[in-house]
Amino acid sequence: MWSIKFVPGEYYKRSEIHDQFGGNRQRGISASAKEPVIFIFSGASGAQYGYSDDWNEEKTLFMYTGEGQIGDQVFSMGNKALRDHVNNSKDVLLFHHSKNGLYRFDDQLTLIGYETKQSLDREGNMREVIQFVFESSSYLTRSVEEELEGNKLTYDRSLDELKELALQDTSNGHDSVQMKRVKVRKRSEAIKLYARARADGTCEACEQPEPFEAKSGSSLEVHHMYRLSDGGPDHPEHVAAICPNCHARIHRGVDGMEYNETLIERILDKEDPFRMKYIH
Ligand SMILES: [Zn+2]
Ligand SMILES: [Zn+2]
């Protein structure tokens, strides 16, 4: 699961990415069938059709035009995968075309929202295009951690309330980008708070009390059990609050994958103590 860790700024051969992850080898948006990840291979070809994919000045938001060069763009295939990535618990990884089949890994993205715009297609006809607005996942994760530290985890809500907040659908609606950013951030915070509240001071992996008192109120780290990274909003049942030691073991230990499997079982039991178990 963690055999490839893409490093921002490094160059990768597209064919090697597909050898490992599968997915369409030509399209700009390519979803892996093997891992919960969607790749965006941003090229130079967009600009000539009246749009360009780019970061804002602060490099916090990335505007990306959907796929389809002729006629109205619709929510199928890649466009649908991007729209639903948060709810489907998939990572979005952004690569930029360089040369000789090399692509530079830029950042992980979290969808904030999208709008439709009028634009000319390749044949000179007016058509509707989808413009996605993504936030840098690393920026989002950082700001959420800072936010939580500022609040000293005093979100005084029940587990159920936190879970409801954490499951909020942030992709629809006609809110402004600013409003959507706030919603995505709140959802991210709620997921972290939910995991830590469920852990209740005990590591959800080794079941020992948390090892030290942190400035932020909890030294437990929120780990994503199914994805390649821990960034961005997600499903509250897919994360666990674990001590730094267990976290390092899962990501770097020789038995990391097995340890993660054990954790998945523990969380399933916690979430539903009456679930049916396979008997070997
Ligand atoms: Zn632990
Ligand atoms: Zn983790």
Q: Which ligand is nearest to the CA of 203?
A: 1
CA of 135 to the centre of ligand 1 (A): 31
Mean pLDDT by 10 residues, the chain (280 residues): 74 94 93 93 64 86 91 94 90 92 93 89 88 91 80 69 82 75 86 92 96 85 87 83 96 94 94 68
The pLDDT, as a whole number, for residue 280 is 47
The pLDDT, as a whole number, for residue 2 is 46
Domains and CATH numbers, the chain: 11-135 (2.30.280.10), 138-271 (no CATH)
Q: Which ligand is nearest to the CA of 248?
A: 2
Q: Which ligand is nearest to the CA of 243?
A: 1
The pLDDT, as a whole number, for residue 80 is 96
Rounded Cα–Cα distance for residues 130 and 46 (Å): 13
CA of 260 to the centre of ligand 2 (A): 9
The pLDDT, as a whole number, for residue 210 is 93
The pLDDT, as a whole number, for residue 180 is 83
